[in-house]
Amino acid sequence: MASPLQPLSAEREEASAPVTEREVAYLRAISELSRDGVFVSTSEVARRMRVRGPTAIEAIRRLYEKGYVTYVPRRGAALTGRGKALLASIERRHRVLETFLVRVFNLDLNRACAEASRLELHISDYLVDLMCRYLGHPRRCPHGRAIPVKVTCCLSR
């Protein structure tokens, strides 16, 4: 274990660790609170997540163990490259799903967003890539936000 002054960096070459919806919420909170990769205090994360400090620290340690954050006790947490990549992948899944639901099933935007939120952690990248191809590799979701490009899918854009 690293000393309290050394950052705990967990960017490892291991299989992708599954994440829960709550863990994704913590990753999003850290991402939104950090500015240019600056560490976010655990108390800021706890406030954002509406939990007590020890609860936030435990969640951050789990994310560290999975390689999604760097954690320094008494300093805070920051996303690793792996954590940023995971959030980008989830964002892409959500936006492609949302676009598919609006265009193919003609769902209203709020319902499509809600359904995409329910599915984004449970759908394979393979299926999302098929939807993206079917839709003609859309650049924006129905909200007007950019859909992250996946090179293996969207190269032919």
Cβ neighbours of 145 (radius 10 Å):
12
Q: What is the pLDDT of residues 76-104, one digit of tens each?
A: 999 999 999 999 999 999 999 999 999 99
151 compared with 107, residue with greater pLDDT: 107
Answer yes or no: is pLDDT of 3 > 80.
Answer: no
pLDDT in tens, 8-59: 444 433 446 689 999 999 999 999 999 777 899 999 999 999 999 999 999 9
Domain 85-154 has CATH 1.10.10.10: yes
Amino acid 16: pLDDT:
60
Q: Residue 5: pLDDT above 70?
A: no
Q: What is the pLDDT of residue 72?
A: 94
What stretches of 34-144 show up as alpha helix (H) in DSSP? 42-49, 53-65, 81-105, 109-119, 125-134
Domain with CATH 1.10.10.10 in the chain: 21-79, 85-154
Class of domain 21-79: mainly alpha
Q: Is the pLDDT of residue 141 over 90?
A: yes
Q: Which long-range contacts (CB under 8 A, 24 or more apart) does 59-66 make?
A: 59/22, 59/23, 59/26, 60/26, 60/30, 62/23, 63/23, 63/26, 63/27, 64/8, 64/10, 65/10, 66/10, 66/17, 66/19, 66/23
